A and B are shown apart, each in its own frame.
Chain A
């Protein structure tokens, strides 16, 4: 099956074509859904078979290149239309097709009754097609094809409900914003590609990476290449300063947010950096930049997440923050840990989004968590799976998020970046806090919605995907149990991926040695921190309102007692929560996000538009004026001829 890996790409394309061309004619939603998700399901099965085939091969033979046909041949540039099956691309392929399949199935229920049901499924299939191209490519050009393709699908799907209003503008504007921001990233990526071609004379992964470890290239060139590629990654993976598009991208249907803007596409940047690990490892300065940008993104996004009231926005900022973690891992040189977090994050974040979708579905498109509350009794499955995901993202052992997040933090510390470790732990606490604020406000406490809403549990076609993802979120981390717990087997996930990063690790400074005690101590700190944050969040959002309202009237004595406790809360509020909340709303969200970064992006576009408006006036419509311009050009050219000799 490994030789036929291209089927995993062709099947989604086929699904796209069938649904895209015949979709309007097929009136049957079920059939469209089956075609759409069936093609992805088959791809997933093929990926699984390929995975086991590869697993049975000896470690040094696990890379298979499947060449379809020669593609570009100009001079010394030879690029084939060929796919590379190895440990890294298999992990990603399993993830994309697996999670993709689950979300496709979920969408059958979620998009039920939409007037453009067929269009939605054809776009989703097109997305999987492009994404598979991206991760299975064996060269930069093919990767870029997928890179642009996923961007395009994301753009189409954000604006899917183009007739709906989204905040102040339309969803189409949100789509456009995503596209413009992504083009800045793409520019960086293209520049990086050119530099690679100039330096190594090839765009093939194997050639480039082998030459990168052999060729005598100065660190400056490596830094230039790495920083260009990283700019590309910041665009796609929503890192500072290009993260602004992702919250707006939530204008799309929720399954899209789950699949594209949480689980798969946004991790393309992480994948690309991991794939190019050799290049990054050769530029240690850039690695530090990657780590710093990553952790800054993580904490900024997490603090913004504290105050959002839109359920999908909270999750969007949480995604940005988790992506920041992944880049922190990459920057710390722990490429395997970064990919590990990509995987676990895909499970629990997809689950969170699908759960949110289920809630939104039940609440008739209401997205404000202040108008939820007490949904637990109406939606048992959704609430249970949601809490699993929330625990996983908060890093509570032994759920999946714990292992991946802790591995990243440990490597950060072990690599001497202890300061970043501190911020990382704070971020983890913030994460736990806002996740449980979200959970508590949504599912617990009293209902705060009107009587016109009748929440109900979603149909099976939506809940079963939730359950599957919940199981994955629980056990997904077990394949990456760190060495100190698993004994002589070591970290299985790591061992599986290590051949990919061998070249990179050879280039980097070996990690300092640290004792197991340190590792366990750090782990304990972060777990305790997260647990405290969870307790704190539940305390504020669950207990405080009820204490304030009910007990104050009934038991005046107890009330005074509790009032003191309340003072503690108040103190917390004033000293910690309020400054963060205020700072986060007034500066980080409003100014940093909306003014500075939006302003720069829009400003550049505006400047170009203004230049455009003025320079079109040059076209006066007078033929003789045109002739004068021509003659002017001729004079200049003649001067050039005269002076050049």
Chain B
């Protein structure tokens, strides 16, 4: 472990912000959702890096739970997207704006 932890953290921060950018600029609801998955994974990298450098496994256990949550979110989120698609025949979230003001 000759690599300073800052490198891992910076890498994680970068990918996190790539994920954020994806959420902000993509129009396809599924891709937006995938960008959120990318954010979660980057956060996982932070947790694993800390866990490993601190020498305790708490961070990795937390990652385990984040994965569980991600799986659950994926199931529910994709179900919601499918339900919406059946009604509106679009995944473009710019067109999903009946509720406003």
Chain A residues with a Cβ under 8 A of chain B: 616-617, 619-624, 627-628, 631
Contacts and interface: CB of A to CB of B under 8 A. Distances in A.
Given A621-B99, A624-B25, 4 more contacts: A621-B97, A621-B100, A624-B24, A631-B20
Contacts of A621: 97-101
A620 B99 CA distance: 9
A637 to B, nearest CB: 15
A621 B97 CA distance: 5
Interface in B10-46: 20, 23-25, 32
B38 to A, nearest CB: 14
Contacts of B97: 620-622
Nearest to A617: B101
A143 to B, nearest CB: 41
A631 B35 CA distance: 15
B27 to A, nearest CB: 8
A621 B20 CA distance: 19
Interface string B87-98: 000000110111
B100 A627 contact: no
A627 B24 contact: yes
Contact of B93 (A617, A619, A624, A628): A624
Nearest to B26: A624
A619 B100 contact: yes
A624 B23 CA distance: 7
Contact of A631 (B24, B94, B99): B24
B23 A620 contact: no
B93 A623 contact: yes
21 contacts: A616-B101, A619-B100, A620-B97, A620-B100, A621-B98, A621-B99, A621-B100, A622-B93, A622-B94, A622-B97, A622-B100, A623-B93, A623-B96, A624-B24, A624-B25, A624-B32, A624-B94, A627-B23, A627-B24, A631-B20, A631-B24
B13 to A, nearest CB: 12
Closest 4 pairs between A and B when the two form their complex, measured CB to CB: A621-B100, A621-B97, A616-B101, A619-B101
Contacts of B96: 623
A616 B99 CA distance: 12
Interface residues of B, number: 13
Interface in B56-101: 93-94, 96-101
| Most chain A beta-carbon contacts within 10 A, residue among B25, B94, B98 | B94
B5 to A, nearest CB: 20
Contacts of B94: 622, 624
Q: Tell me which of B96, B98, B99, B101 has the highest count of chain A C-beta atoms within 10 A of its own C-beta.
A: B101
Interface centre among A616, A623, A628 (most CB of B within 10 A): A623
A338 B34 CA distance: 75
Contacts of A623: 93, 96
Nearest to A616: B101
B23 to A, nearest CB: 6
A612 to B, nearest CB: 11
B53 to A, nearest CB: 23
A622 B20 CA distance: 16
B35 to A, nearest CB: 10
A627 B27 CA distance: 13
A103 B42 CA distance: 76
B50 to A, nearest CB: 19
Contacts of A622: 93-94, 97, 100
Contacts of A617: 101
Contacts of B101: 616-617, 619, 621
Nearest to A624: B24
A261 B100 CA distance: 44
A619 B23 CA distance: 18
Contacts of B99: 621
Contacts of B23: 624, 627
Contacts of A616: 101
Contacts of A619: 100-101
A617 B101 CA distance: 6
Contacts of A628: 24
Contacts of B24: 624, 627-628, 631
A620 B96 CA distance: 11
Nearest to A613: B101
A627 B25 CA distance: 10
A362 to B, nearest CB: 54
Nearest to B23: A627
A220 B89 CA distance: 69
Nearest to B100: A621
A634 to B, nearest CB: 9
A616 B96 CA distance: 18
A627 B98 CA distance: 17
B51 to A, nearest CB: 24
A616 B25 CA distance: 23
B81 to A, nearest CB: 12
A627 B101 CA distance: 16
A624 B20 CA distance: 11
A628 B96 CA distance: 17
A51 B21 CA distance: 77
A628 B23 CA distance: 9
Contacts of A624: 23-25, 32, 93-94
B86 to A, nearest CB: 19
A624 B100 CA distance: 13
Contacts of A627: 23-24
Contacts of B25: 624
